[in-house]
Structure 1
Amino acid sequence: MAWQLAPNVTFCIASGTVLFLDVGRDRYFALPDTLSPAFLTWLETAEVSDDSKGAIALLRAASIVRRVAQATSLEPVRISVPGRTLDEAARSSIGARSLAIWSRTRASYRRTRRHLRQGGLIGLIEAARTSRPASDDVRDPAAAAREFQRARGPRALEGDCLVSSFAMLDFLHRQGSDARAVFGVMVKPFHAHCWVQSETEILNDEVDHVRIFTPILVI
């Protein structure tokens, strides 16, 4: 018998701590520091020890992992964080705001809050996956992100990074652009954050800020 992550569960290794995100239950779960080293050794070498058995038993009791007949690979989330932020002038520009873009921005916020209210975190994520442009020929996400930021203002992320990030993602998708929402965590003290990035740029935050977080989920 072998083990695999339960559905809708991802994990990362942040400052030596193994931290799991269970989207279905909207919860985080951290292995105790005493069990993390043995668990990481088990991941890398399949070496079984009393501590690794204890870690697996704890994760199984928390419905984080489950037994399967065929061996699978348990891999932490990995994504490169771009080293560039959407240019400051574009993000903070007041400029002339198109009424149409302003209306679309408001509509994206309304849809995002509705998805979160009706379906929780997993409903919000599924809505984002469904709205993603299917075509490979998509519009530059930076251009659409600038429109969103101008309509929303330079403090769009303040207050609720989850809603603001998924509102931007909804706006980008409906404008024919694609990007990724990234969930990141830090430990001691624990803190979670969410932002939007393309392959080359952080679209709604600062590089120096997001780099203190370890990605744990990518949408």
Structure 2
Amino acid sequence: MPDQTRFKGPAMNAVILKPRVGYCDIDDRLVFLDVDRDRYLMIAPELEMAVRDLVAGRVLDAKGLETLAATGLFISSHAAAGSSHPFSGIRAARALCDRAEVTSDKLAFGAHYVAAFLCLAFFHLVARYCPLRMKIFLATSLARSGEKALLPSKIPVLLAAFHSASLVFPRKDRCLADALALHAYLALSRLRTTLVFGVQLGPFQAHCWVQHEDVVLGQDIETVRAFHPVLALP
């Protein structure tokens, strides 16, 4: 997903979403994720109307644009062109879970297990003390080593090793740490993936998962489909 979503406004006075901010539309309400502030939030209905006007290409006056900028979710920009779609990541269509049989190559599986364990240990035990922005930076900084390719035949073994290693760690409230660890682990295995954040309302819940193109890795598709994607990071 691009770092910035741009909205059409007056030629010399437009606003764009800040980097590392995403949003989605759930039951006619807008839900934002601001990574830098480490929070999900909603805005007043009148501000939502302003956002929808901008998405539709309707022009707001300078005061309206300044009001949006005051939320801390938008920044001014002289560039008025660009996509205004709230989520430009690829929607999940299927899943590849981590229930694969252990490979007969025990040495290779052991190496994958150690790598998975180290990634999990880092994000469960060390990165818990970091703000969300730093956690994401640590996980995504490895993504540049990944290859953007079709799923390799070894991916079930990688996921099986990751699943085995994950059993050592606490099972409660673990989706973020697991997703960050899986994202980093697969990057080390030279597979480029996308980190996706999603939300649902009534009651509010947030979730995080890893995708390769339209394939969810390590989770059931039914779990992921219950959430509206709000932000995707490479």
TM-score (norm 2): 0.75
In structure 2, distance between residues paired with 1:34 and 1:2: 18
- Determine if contact 1:157/1:205 at 8 Å carries over to the other structure: no
Paired residue type of 2:111: A
Paired residue type of 1:142: I
Cα deviation digits, residues 66-120 of structure 1 (max 9, x gap): 2223324443123233332225742xx5788744333222200123246634542
In structure 2, relative to structure 1, the CA distance for the partners of 1:88 and 1:154 (3 Å cut) is farther
- Is 2:194 the partner of 1:180? yes
Contiguous gaps of at least 5 residues in structure 2: 1-12
Cα deviation digits, residues 117-164 of structure 1 (max 9, x gap): 454211121122210125446872733223312443499875310001
Q: Name the structure 1 match of 2:10.
A: none
In structure 1, distance between residues paired with 2:146 and 2:98: 30
- Determine if contact 2:148/2:192 at 8 Å carries over to the other structure: no
Q: Name the structure 2 match of 1:59.
A: 68
- Determine if contact 1:86/1:204 at 8 Å carries over to the other structure: yes
Cα deviation digits, residues 176-204 of structure 1 (max 9, x gap): 22222210011232211001122242212
Q: Give 4+ residue runs of structure 1 displaced > 6 Å after superposition.
A: 94-97, 154-157
Equivalent of residue 27 in structure 2, options 6, 11, 15: 15
Equivalent of residue 193 in structure 1, options 207, 211, 217: 207
Equivalent of residue 94 in structure 2, options 76, 84, 102: 84
- Is 2:140 the partner of 1:126? no
- Determine if contact 2:102/2:160 at 8 Å carries over to the other structure: no
Structure richer in helix, relative to its length: 1
In structure 2, relative to structure 1, the CA distance for the partners of 1:139 and 1:186 (3 Å cut) is closer
Q: What number of residue pairs does the alignment pair up?
A: 213
- Determine if contact 2:146/2:188 at 8 Å carries over to the other structure: no
Paired residue type of 1:17: R
In structure 2, relative to structure 1, the CA distance for the partners of 1:157 and 1:46 (3 Å cut) is farther
- Determine if contact 2:207/2:227 at 8 Å carries over to the other structure: yes
- Is 2:155 the partner of 1:142? yes
Structure 1 residue 210 displacement after superposition: 1.0
Q: Name the structure 2 match of 1:25.
A: 37
Contiguous gaps of at least 5 residues in structure 1: none
In structure 2, relative to structure 1, the CA distance for the partners of 1:75 and 1:48 (3 Å cut) is same
In structure 2, distance between residues paired with 1:157 and 1:59: 39
Q: Name the structure 2 match of 1:162.
A: 176
Aligned residues: percent identity?
Answer: 24
The alignment yields a C-alpha RMSD, in angstroms, of 3.2
In structure 2, relative to structure 1, the CA distance for the partners of 1:201 and 1:146 (3 Å cut) is farther
